[in-house]
Amino acid sequence: MKKNIYKQSFASFSYLLIINVILISSFSCNRTKPFFEESVEFANSNWDFENRMVTFEKQIEGSDIPYQVFVDLDLEHDLEMEQFPLTLSIYSDQGEETHKQLFFFFPVVADNGMTSPNTPKILTKEVYSEKYFNNSAKYTFKILRKSSKYDLFGIKAVKLRIVPKKIKS
């Protein structure tokens, strides 16, 4: 009788242990978690001209893992312009430097070809589909708005996101 109780207890314990190991492994291998995600919020939804450049910094250990780099605009409403150009510049304290221009277009057109409502929305642009940070360094990311010498009302925040690239197996 005691042998059956021990066998059942051992089987239950083994089952729970296996389930926990699987759960812990699946969470620790989640490569979609952002590597870096930071935003700057603008008072009164106004990206004013004097602060047309936003800056983020991150110490990055060199690796051979590719990353995707995104810029997100959190809008209160569409901007009253046809296109909104930004430049993302990446500098390392070791002298590396890259610059890439991106454009957001207005009015925003949905995937089905219809103009989306002029309501709050978050727009995302992929700046790099495969960006490598090969050297360990302190990186500085600067986003410069390149349009209008006036304040831009309607932009609540700008966000920089860097995520590990999903590698297809």
- Grade residue 12 by pLDDT with cuts at 50, 70 and 90: low
Can you give the pLDDT at residue 33?
A: 78
* pLDDT for the residue 142: 98
pTM score of the predicted model: 0.78
- Measured CA to CA, the distance from residue 141 to residue 111 in angstroms comes to 30
| Cα-based torsion angle of the residue sequence 53, 59, 62, 66 in order, rounded to the nearest 10 degrees | -50
SS (H, E, C) 131-145: EECCCCEEEEEEEEE
Examine the pLDDT at 19 and tell me if it is beyond 80: no
- Pairwise pLDDT comparison (77 vs 33), residue with the higher score: 77
Tokens of 90: 């990446």
Specify the pLDDT at position 39.
97
Q: Is the pLDDT of residue 15 over 60?
A: no
pLDDT at 22: 43
What span, in angstroms and rounded, lies between the C-alpha atoms of 152 and 63? 38
Which string of DSSP letters, residue by residue, matches the chain?
-HHHHHHHHHHHHHHHHHHHHHHHHHHHT-TTS-SEEEEEE-GGGEE-GGG-EEEEEEEE---S-EEEEEEEEEESS--SSSEEEEEEEEEETTS-EEEEEEEEESS-B-TTSPBPPSS-EEEEEEEEEEEE--S-EEEEEEEEE-S-SS-EETEEEEEEEEEEPPPP-
Band (3; pLDDT cuts 50, 70, 90) = low
More confident position, 8 or 23? 8
> Once rounded to an integer, what is the mean pLDDT over residues 21-26?
42
| pLDDT tens track for 34-89 | 899 999 999 999 999 999 999 999 999 999 999 999 999 999 999 999 999 999 99
- Tell me: the pLDDT tens digits for 110-150? 888 899 899 999 999 999 999 999 999 999 999 999 887 88
For residue 30, pLDDT beyond 80? no
